[in-house]
Amino acid sequence: MDPLQQAALLYDELDSLRPFSKDDEQRIMQKFRLDWNYHSNHLEGNQLTYGETKALLLFNITAQGKPLKDHLEMTGHNEAINWIIEVLKEERPLTESFIRQIHKLLLKEPYEVKAITPEGKETTRMIQVGQYKSAPNHVKTKTGEIFRFATSEETPAMMNDLLTWYEKEKETKDKNAIILAAEFHYKFIRIHPFDDGNGRLARILMNFILMSNRYPPVVIKTEDKENYFNVLQLADAGQFTPFVDYIANNLIHSLELMIRGAKGEGIEELEDIDKEILLLSQKIKSKPRKIEVSKSRDSVLNIFDTSISKLYSTFLHRSSTFDRFFYEKVVNLYHNDSQKISGGDKFERLRKVISDYSPQVNKIRIIVYFSQAIDLDMYEFKYSMVIEIYFHQTYVFFQDSKSRQICRILYGEQLSDTEISEIIGSELKNHKEAIENYMDTQSNKNLKKPNI
């Protein structure tokens, strides 16, 4: 499905869930703010880790050994986000003074940076806040060429034209808000109106436009920096559609996250090493748990109803992230090594098997099988996302398709949202890496083919 169409369907689903509870809304927006602050600054070279960002913004704890500038950038960016969230309630128009005010919040105060004179000599220059650039800020590309943005003399007129264009476009009937936000981001970057902070500001303004249209913000991950810059460069070469699709695909991720949050489901994504270390720390510090319940029909059914059912439904929902790559998807359930569940509601039939034969059921396998890839170069690629659940005599443990034990719980306990996210996140990573490895292999094969 086209990313814009998929985003529209998810938007409708999200809209049907409004209004959210106050607790869910606060939980979702805190997640977006932390991710947005961390990734947008990290894209520009900020050194604070995700954990340090969270400690700074939630508890005002500074990171030892990290530059003061990195702390100021993070708190300034957070103030800018909080300000536009408040401004959105007032339906304030997007103007040049509005943009300059965000820039002031973002950079906070003037500072010096190293620079090169037109004669090639090293010097320093002052970065002003809330003011358009007074000197060229062209950049050198990987090929050594100079990519030229608007000159300081051209900038005021071009910014006026940009805002005039925006006001006209947003009033255009049936104008897609995602395309409008992506276009504004790109046009702003091409002007590069300020001495510094243009990338962060472009993403803030893009999200202001999206959020004005009741979409969640887009968070461009720091680990996806190369793809982000690649589609921007394609837009520079006149190919704008890949950039729109890139923004739309990232928005799909935000919509899915917001939908989960609106339904009261877990929204944590264990992709950052700091989160994994935090989880490990929590496990190590937790008090030893006393084994009070052992395996029995009732204890297995309790685990099934309170934890496995939620894990199953969340796994199916999250696995749909990969639907866009394949024509075929099949969900299968097995108990023990090879006993396949078939016919009717598979999950309910599996519950009946457990209810009837719980002492003999030692293992459950949930398999989501993808085949017939949409991309021609991947057509022969097939993949099974697998979660395995083992019923030990005193505990239950969960592992991924690579036979890695992700977590375990005692009978009588329940999987937390964090643990469910960790189990599923492991399989999402496995699937993504498998696709990347396959594509790399195909690319290498194509490179080795002789030219005829």
Q: How many CB atoms lie within 10 A of CB 372?
A: 14
Q: State the pLDDT at residue 112.
A: 87
CA distances from 259 to 25, 59, 105, 141, 265 (A): 11, 28, 30, 40, 9
Q: How many CB atoms lie within 10 A of CB 295?
A: 19
Q: State the pLDDT at residue 220.
A: 97
Distance (Å, whole) CA 311 – CA 421: 9
Residue 146 has pLDDT above 90, yes or no: no
Architecture per CATH, domain 3-262, reads as: Orthogonal Bundle (1.10)
Q: Output DSSP code: residue 264.
A: T
Residue with tokens 């190293």: 114
**Secondary structure (DSSP) of 341-391:** --SS-HHHHHHHHHHHHGGG--EEEEEEEEEEESSGGGTT--EEEEEEEEE
pTM: 0.63
Q: Output DSSP code: residue 180.
A: H
Q: Looking at residues 230-238, what average pLDDT do you find?
A: 93
The confidence band for 418, taking pLDDT boundaries of 50, 70 and 90, is confident
User: Do 125 and 113 form a contact (C-beta atoms < 8 A)?
Assistant: yes
Distance (Å, whole) CA 428 – CA 432: 6
What's the CA angle centered on 75, arms 54 and 40, to 5 degrees? 75
CA torsion, ordered 1, 17, 251, 426, to nearest 10 deg:
-90
User: Do 78 and 57 form a contact (C-beta atoms < 8 A)?
Assistant: yes
The more confidently predicted of residues 357 and 397 is 397
The more confidently predicted of residues 95 and 266 is 95
Helix or strand or coil: residue 339? strand
CA 21, 16, 219, 80 torsion: positive or negative? Answer: negative
pLDDT over 70 percentage in the chain: 90
Task: Give the model confidence (pLDDT) of 25-83 as tens digits.
Answer: 999 999 999 999 999 999 999 999 888 899 899 989 898 889 999 999 999 999 999 99
User: For the chain, what is the mean pLDDT?
Assistant: 88
Domain with CATH 1.10.3290.10 in the chain: 3-262
Q: State the pLDDT at residue 330.
A: 94
User: Do 365 and 378 form a contact (C-beta atoms < 8 A)?
Assistant: no
- Contacts (Cβ under 8 Å, ≥6 apart) of 135: 115, 125, 152, 195
Establish whether the linkage from the previous residue to 19 is cis, with ω within 30° of 0. Answer: yes
The more confidently predicted of residues 383 and 440 is 383
Residue (of 446, 451, 450, 318) closest to 376 by Cα position: 446
CA atoms within 13 A on the CB side of 169: 17
Q: Looking at residues 84-110, what average pLDDT do you find?
A: 94
